[in-house]
Structure 1
Amino acid sequence: MSGQVANLASGKGHRDENFPVASFLLSAKHRAPVMAFYRFARAADDIADHEQASATDKLDRLARMRAGLEGDAAGAAEALDLRAVMAERGLDPVHAGDLLTAFERDVTVDRCADWAALMDYCRYSAMPVGRFVLDVHGEDRAIWPANDALCAALQVINHLQDCGKDYRTIRRIYLPLDILAEHRATEADLARDHASPGLRDTIVALAGRTRSLLAVSAPFAASIRDRKLAAEVAVIQRLAESLVDRLERFDPLSERVHHRKAEAALLAARAALPMLLRRTA
Structure 2
Amino acid sequence: MFDITPGQSVEHYENFPVGSMLLPRRYRKAVASVYHFARHADDLADEGDATPAERLQALAACRAELARIERGETPQTARYQALATTITQYQIPLGLCGDLLTAFEQDVVKTRYADFGELVQYCRHSANPVGRILLHIFGAATPTHLAQSDGICTALQLINFWQDVAVDWQKGRVYIPQADLQRFGVTEAMIAQQTSDVAWRRLMAFQVDRTRRMLKGGSPLAMALPGRIGLELRLTVLGGDAVLEKLKRSDYDMFRQRPKLGATDWPGLLWRALRKR
TM-score, structure 2 normalization: 0.87
- Measured in 1, the distance between the counterparts of 2:92 and 2:200 equals 42
State the 1:125 CA deviation.
Answer: 0.5
Counterpart check, 1:21 vs 2:17: yes
The equivalent position to 1:61 in structure 2, one of 58, 75, 86, is 58
Matched with 1:33 is 30
List, as ranges, runs of 4+ consecutive aligned residues in structure 1 with deviation greater than 6 Å.
none
Matched with 1:50 is 47
Secondary structure of 2:62 counterpart: helix
* Residue pair 2:17, 2:23 contacting (<8 A) in 1 also: no
Residue 260 and residue 25 in structure 1: after superposition, are their counterparts in 2 closer, same or farther (change >3 A)?
A: same
State how 1:1-281 maps to structure 2 within 5 Å: 15-17=9-11, 21-22=17-18, 23-50=20-47, 52-71=49-68, 77-142=78-143, 143-168=145-170, 170-224=171-225, 226-250=226-250, 251-271=253-273, 273-274=274-275, 278=277
- Measured in 2, the distance between the counterparts of 1:211 and 1:186 equals 24
Secondary structure of 1:16 counterpart: coil
1:73-112 alpha-carbon deviations (Å, 9 max, x no partner): 6756533431233224433222111111111111121111
State the 1:154 CA deviation.
Answer: 0.3
1:11-35 alpha-carbon deviations (Å, 9 max, x no partner): xx95434566232111111111111
* Residue pair 1:34, 1:133 contacting (<8 A) in 2 also: yes
* Residue pair 2:16, 2:35 contacting (<8 A) in 1 also: no
- Measured in 2, the distance between the counterparts of 1:52 and 1:196 equals 35
Look up the equivalent residue of 1:124 and give its one-letter code. H
- Measured in 2, the distance between the counterparts of 1:49 and 1:236 equals 25
Look up the equivalent residue of 2:245 and give its one-letter code. D
Residue 54 and residue 228 in structure 1: after superposition, are their counterparts in 2 closer, same or farther (change >3 A)?
A: same
Secondary structure of 2:220 counterpart: coil
Q: CA RMSD in A?
A: 2.1
* Residue pair 2:37, 2:80 contacting (<8 A) in 1 also: yes
- Measured in 1, the distance between the counterparts of 2:243 and 2:190 equals 22
TM-score, structure 1 normalization: 0.85
Residue 74 and residue 134 in structure 1: after superposition, are their counterparts in 2 closer, same or farther (change >3 A)?
A: closer
- Measured in 2, the distance between the counterparts of 1:162 and 1:192 equals 15
- Measured in 2, the distance between the counterparts of 1:69 and 1:120 equals 22
Where structure 2 has 5 or more consecutive residues not aligned to the other structure, the ranges are 1-6
Look up the equivalent residue of 1:230 and give its one-letter code. G
Larger displacement relative to structure 2 (84-93 or 128-137): 84-93
